[in-house]
Amino acid sequence: MVDTRVTLSGWELDNPVIPASGTFGFGREFAELYDINCLGTFSFKGTTLNPRFGNPTPRIAECTAGMINSVGLQNSGVDEVIAVQLPAMKEYFHKKVIANVSGFSVEEYAETCRRLDECDQIGIFEVNVSCPNVHGGGLSFGTSPEAAAEVTKAVKAVTSKPVYIKLSPNVTDIAAIAKACEDAGADGISLINTLLGMRIDLKSKKPVIANKMGGFSGSAIFPVAVRMVYQVYEAVKVPVIGMGGVSSAEDVIEMMLAGASAVQIGAANLTDPFVCRDIVSDLPAVMEKYGINKLSDIIGGAH
């Protein structure tokens, strides 16, 4: 019997399989398809202080081995999450969740986390400083070590829960940004968010996406994500959650060998809603195939 358990800042997960924010909502639709309690946990829909309508449509462009999105952080705001989503979630998900939080100022990140801090259902915060689809926030914090550190410090000051910072691949030195977050008190690093991309429609000769550019995700970005997880693992001592193009149990193991303590699955949920359930059930056989008894033993094993 192999051991699939992993630990994030003292929180033991049954397995490292975590649906990524923005691809799993608050889990309700997936809970109608299968018992989502088989998952390690999941990262809920990116939440801001105030409700957001999101970007104009079209927001999605299909690509070879992936997709581009420019959703623009559409969400119902933190107060609705606390009053409606989290109480409803108790009915179908009995583990703690990851709270994914975005903002447009340091104060907004901190206030959103301060309000969520009272919720027992939240295991850790995942602070998204890497959304490529909004102006005046998101990515602008994640491309500068100083700004990412400032957000980290502000959030750490309002919560006793572990704080993981979700980083962008759209930078020249992701390891330096990860290190700045760790030095500012981050308990972990999540990476990677989407790569900035674009498609142009040949008939209209105009960008497919109304916002022109968006975040590219899907299996095409997996090697980039593995490379960046590998680099960040060497730069920091805190745990790393790896993501980007993961779609199989083999990918989960590869990401953990690069340095991930747990692994998120994003775009794959949109083409196969059962993918995370299947990865959880495939993991033991794939571990046995590669002679792995205890999954946590392989974290960073490629270094």
Q: Does 128 interact with ligand SIN (rule: CB under 6 A)?
A: yes
Q: Counting beta carbons within 10 angstroms of the beta carbon of residue 86, is it exposed (0 to 12), middle (13 to 18) or buried (19 or more)? A: buried
Q: Catalytic residue at 119?
A: no
Which residue's CB is nearer to ligand SIN, number 73 or number 228?
73
Helix spans in the chain (H): 28-31, 78-80, 86-89, 106-116, 139-142, 145-156, 174-183, 222-235, 249-258, 268-271, 275-289
Which member of 15, 16, 17, 22 binds ligand SIN (CB under 6 A)?
22
Sheet with 66-69, edge to edge strand ranges: 60-63, 66-69, 214-217, 195-197
Which part of the chain contacts ligand SIN (CB under 6 A), choosing from 68-76, 119-127, 247-255, 280-288? Answer: 68-76
Binder to ligand SIN among 133, 159, 248, 264 (CB under 6 A)?
Answer: 133
73 near ligand SIN (CB under 6 A): yes
- Told to check if 215 binds ligand SIN by CB under 6 A, we report yes
Q: Considering the rule CB under 6 A, would residue 71 count as an interface residue with ligand SIN?
A: yes
Q: Which tokens go with 29?
A: 């639709």
22 vs 123, beta carbon nearer ligand SIN: 22
Stretch that binds ligand SIN, among 83-91, 123-131, 243-251, 266-274 (CB under 6 A): 123-131
Q: Is 193 in the site for ligand SIN (CB under 6 A)?
A: yes
> In this structure, are residues 30 and 41 in contact, taking their beta carbons and an 8 Å threshold?
no
For 301, other C-beta atoms within 10 Å of its C-beta total 12
Catalytic residue among 113, 131, 181, 276: 131
Best CA proximity match to 260, nearest among 192, 162, 172, 174: 192
Cβ at position 134, least distance to ligand SIN in Å: 7
CA 218/CA 271 separation, integer angstroms: 10
Residues near 192 by beta carbon (within 8 Å), at least 6 away in sequence: 130, 167, 168, 169, 174, 221, 224, 225, 228, 229, 243, 244
The answer to the question of residue 244 lying near ligand SIN (CB under 6 A) is: no
Region near ligand SIN per CB under 6 A, out of 110-118, 127-135, 195-203, 240-248: 127-135
User: Which span sits near ligand SIN by CB under 6 A: 5-13, 126-134, 237-245, 285-293?
Assistant: 126-134
Rounded Cα distance between 85 and 40, Å, is: 19
Residue choice 27, 72, 207, 242 for contact with ligand SIN (CB under 6 A)? 72
CA distance linking residue 89 with residue 92, whole number of Å: 6
Selected from 16, 27, 40, 46, the binder of ligand SIN by CB under 6 A is 46
Is 27 a binder of ligand SIN (CB under 6 A)?
A: no
User: Which position has the token pair 């995942």?
Assistant: 126
Taking the C-alpha atoms of residue 24 and residue 264, their distance in angstroms, rounded to an integer, is: 11
Which residue numbers are catalytic? Answer: 131
Interface ranges with ligand SIN (CB under 6 A):
22, 46, 69-73, 128, 130-131, 133, 193-194, 215
